[in-house]
Amino acid sequence: MEVVDATNAECPEPFMKTVAKLMSIKSGSVKVLFKDPKCVDMIKEAINLMNCKIIELTNQNGVYLMIIEKGEDSKEIKDVKLGGC
């Protein structure tokens, strides 16, 4: 499983790192760790646009853990404007 640790980053960096990681793999799971709550909806929106699935989303002691599954039929994001921080 690929891991994106953005616990020390502020929005939009966790979002950008997550999308970059998802676009760099053909399929598989990505574990994302981040603290900025503003990124939750942005990441969810990108996941939806890419046809990926959230397997797990938890918040423990202020750290979000999101596990995302990317299938081979997932899409790339191109020129899409998402909600901001």
- What would the pLDDT profile of 36-56 be if each residue is shown by its tens digit? 999 999 999 999 999 999 999
From the CB of residue 42, how many other CB atoms can be counted at a distance below 10 Å?
Answer: 21
CA distances from 49 to 5, 43, 63, 69, 81 (A): 22, 10, 24, 13, 11
8 A C-beta contact, residue 6 and residue 18? yes
In DSSP terms, 69 is beta-bridged to 29, 53
- Beta strand pairing status for 53-60 and 63-70? antiparallel
From the CB of residue 23, how many other CB atoms can be counted at a distance below 10 Å?
Answer: 14
Structural domains of the chain, with CATH: 2-70 (3.30.110.40)
Provide the pLDDT confidence category of residue 35 given band limits of 50, 70 and 90.
very high
pLDDT at residue 85, as a whole number? 61
pTM of this prediction? 0.86
